[in-house]
Chain A
Amino acid sequence: MMNNEEFRCLLKRATEGDKASIEEILRLYSPLIDRNSYIHGKLDEDLRQYLLLKVSQNIHKFSS
């Protein structure tokens, strides 16, 4: 578990478009993304990919 300072830096780099940081954020939050990828109790892999894509496309909009 990273400390708050590390998380702040990571999030800042991710919002600035650093690919490695975005990947790290996606990895950190993968349980949340996976939980949202279920339709009628079944994991929809296409939906999971769509969510990953949307997060990486929109993360720059988050203002810290």
Chain B
Amino acid sequence: METGQRNEKDELRARFTVWLKTLLRRAKIDYIRLERRYPKTVTLELTEKETVIPPPESVTPNSFDFENDKLRAAFVRLSLSKRSILEMLFVRGLEANEAAREMGCTIQHVYNLRSKALKELRAEMSKEEGNDDE
């Protein structure tokens, strides 16, 4: 009689263990799926520190030998990264891939920055010309 009771309770413990094992296995699968769908992310501050290397500090309007004062004024208004790209490409005569290495960015980004910078310069120049005409 006593042994029968013990077996019954042992059976309870065994049943609970099996139930728990199943639960744990399913929960683990859920967790891995969630992890895959929403991977742990790195904060923006961290990525910025790693990827954005500040452009060389020595880019001033005097980097270029401007013949045109308007162009100088327009150049000053560009952002620092655009100024340094232009300086690297046109003053120091670097290739795009060398400039990219120095800036710590992709070659495509160098081209993008260059074309944006030139576009801005052109816009500034034509705007000022327009003002002069008025």
User: Which stretch, B14-22, B80-88, B90-98, touches the partner chain A?
Assistant: B14-22
B32 in the interface (beta carbon within 8 A): yes
* Most chain B CB inside 10 Å of its own CB: which residue of A4, A39, A46, A62: A4
**Given A29-B20, A62-B19, does the pair A7, B9 have CB atoms closer than 8 Å?**
yes
CA distance A64 to B17 in the complex (A): 12
Partner of B10, one of A4, A29, A33, A55: A4
Q: Given A4-B6, A39-B32, A47-B28, does the pair A32, B13 have CB atoms closer than 8 Å?
A: no
The chain A residue with its CB closest to the CB of B19 is A62
User: A residues 14-63 with Cβ under 8 Å of B?
Assistant: 29, 32-33, 36, 39, 46-47, 50-51, 54-55, 58, 62
Least CB distance from A7 to B in Å reads 6
User: Which residues of the partner chain A approach B13 to less than 8 Å between Cβ atoms?
Assistant: 4, 7
Give every chain B residue within 8 A of A36 (Cβ-Cβ): 24-25, 28
In the complex, whether B12 has a CB less than 8 A from a CB of chain A is yes
How far apart sit A8 and B10, CA to CA, in the bound complex (Å)? Answer: 9
Task: State whether B20 touches A50 (Cβ < 8 A).
Answer: no
Residues of the B chain whose Cβ atoms lie less than 8 Å from the Cβ of A33? 24
A–B Cβ pairs within 8 angstroms, 22 of them = A4-B6, A4-B9, A4-B10, A4-B12, A4-B13, A7-B12, A11-B16, A32-B17, A32-B20, A32-B21, A32-B24, A33-B24, A36-B25, A46-B31, A50-B31, A51-B24, A51-B27, A51-B31, A54-B24, A55-B23, A55-B27, A64-B12
> Which residues of B come within 8 Å of A, CB atoms?
6, 9-10, 12-13, 15-17, 19-21, 23-25, 27-28, 30-32
